[in-house]
Chain A
Amino acid sequence: MISFQNIHKAFDIPVLTGVDLTVETGEMFALFGPSGTGKSVLLKTTLSLIIPDQGDVEVDGLSVYRGPASNLDLIRRKIGYVFQHAALFDSLNVYENVSMGLPEEELAALNTAELSRRVWDALEIVNLEPREILSKLPSELSGGMKKRVGIARAIVGRPEILLWDEPTTGLDPINTAAVERLIQRLSKDLEVTSLLVTHDVEGGLHICDRVAMLHSGTLRFCGTPQEFKDSPDPVVQAFVHRDAAIAALDMAVV
């Protein structure tokens, strides 16, 4: 369970102004919102990558900002984070990048064969051909491949919670479907909690149990996909339709 409590964050201007949100264990939760509303900032407060000015985050009852420092280590171990721009380590090849997804002690305890197995499996799950890319550097990969290596790195440690920052942006329809299936499967089979930030409103509504919309610093909407579609709120409606329009545009361009 992740619970954001009254999160405030301002950079030059206020970005988040009191966000309260709880994602239950095993739930698939989608967070929508216009570009620049602070979706990535909100995700990052979970791991103290960005420290909120006010408020707290609790992960499975462990407080990130009010508890002892050791909480953060425990929480970082529980959570896999898929970065919006992959954030692969550019001096390490794909194999090393994915291995970094394992906690240090686990990495030390595995022998080479076991480690290869884990890395190999993680890459296959995201529909990459391990043989071809294991020894490549991130600079030699396409954007979509980087993204999927980033996902492999996030899941290889078998986290209990996954935070996905636009995992399908920049992927072709087949890989988008593969990633969506992966999120569903992790949630159904392994009870993994997923908090998904996405611009793919249709996909999000399709696979998630609940959705929320971030707008002007606060949660404008939080409920089931059906409630979202039926919401009379003009902002929600405008967003759904605008997004549909953009999606149509994207299809036309691609």
Chain B
Amino acid sequence: MANLIVAPIVAWFAKVGRAYHITVEHAGALGILVWESLVAVLTLKVSFRDVLRQMHIMGVQSLPIVFVTASLAGIVTSQQGGYQLISSSPRYVLGTLVVQSVVLELGPLLTAVVLVGRIGARITAELGTMVVSEQIDAFKSLGRDPVAILAAPRIIAGIITMPLLVGFADVIGIYAGMLMADLDGGLGKETFFYGARLFWHSWDLFYGFSKSLVFGFVIPVISVHMGLRTRGGAEGVGLQTTQAVMFMILTILIIDALFPPLMLQ
């Protein structure tokens, strides 16, 4: 009888315990990865060429897709805002709305989500495949440090590239929103920017920039971490990649939700 009551409670605690254990383990391993990457950078073991190569992959090759998502974000915000603001507010508020949404939220968040799919998944799958085909072991056996060769260049490239990509996304998003406001409601460029300037704080730019910096750090760190923990064969790589994408998206959304209380007081 007592078992009927106690067993589920014990099971629940066991579950919590396991989740806690897994969280702590991941946090520890992530911390070690970041630390080792930092050491690799400070001891000049990271090749500049590797960083450039990763920046090219993450940055230049992402421009088309970021262009598309940012334009669509700007267009949709502009249309939706225009529709809701009809006759209730001065029309220049649309400029405020588009610029603020894009700079504070949509630019960083959408770009991050795009990069999770384009870069994060790729990194996990790539490193996961290297693990299961013993290439990571081969690096170690040859006295090379996989963190310096594989992890650090990706993390550095992420931190540098992400803010640049977000800046690009902001410009495209705002411009697309402005064009849409003009096409849709005949709102001129001057009116649009008047509204944008009226409520503009330079802090907003810093806010968006900080977000992009954090996202640019989080994506490669998590994807490298997950990739290096891959076990099993092709199936393991697939599973690990899916989990890495979930992990990255959740982390990004949580960080995004933490930003307003921390920085928009």
| Residues of chain A whose beta carbon lies under 8 Å from any beta carbon of chain B | 44, 47-49, 73, 76-77, 79, 81, 83-85, 87-90, 100-101, 103-104, 153, 157
B184 partner residues in chain A, CB cutoff 8 A = none
B142 touches A101 (CB 8 A): yes
A44 and B134 CA atoms in complex are apart in Å by: 11
B134 touches A104 (CB 8 A): no
What are 30 A-B pairs at a CB distance below 8 A? A47-B140, A47-B141, A48-B140, A49-B137, A49-B141, A73-B143, A76-B140, A76-B141, A76-B142, A76-B143, A83-B134, A83-B138, A84-B134, A85-B133, A85-B134, A87-B133, A87-B134, A88-B135, A88-B138, A89-B135, A89-B138, A89-B139, A90-B133, A90-B135, A100-B142, A101-B142, A103-B142, A103-B143, A104-B144, A153-B138
- CB-nearest residue of chain B relative to A100? B142
A79 and B137 CA atoms in complex are apart in Å by: 13
A48 partner residues in chain B, CB cutoff 8 A = 140
A81 and B136 CA atoms in complex are apart in Å by: 13
B140–chain A nearest beta-carbon distance, Å: 6
A95 and B11 CA atoms in complex are apart in Å by: 56
Q: Given contacts A87-B134, A90-B135, is CB(A100)–CB(B141) below 8 Å?
A: no
Select the residue from B135, B140, B142 with max chain A CB neighbours within 10 A.
B142
How many residues of B are counted as interface, with CB atoms below 8 angstroms from the partner's CB atoms? 11
A90 and B132 CA atoms in complex are apart in Å by: 13
A161 and B83 CA atoms in complex are apart in Å by: 75
B141 touches A79 (CB 8 A): yes
B140 partner residues in chain A, CB cutoff 8 A = 47-49, 76
B144 partner residues in chain A, CB cutoff 8 A = 100, 104
A101 and B144 CA atoms in complex are apart in Å by: 10
B141 touches A81 (CB 8 A): yes
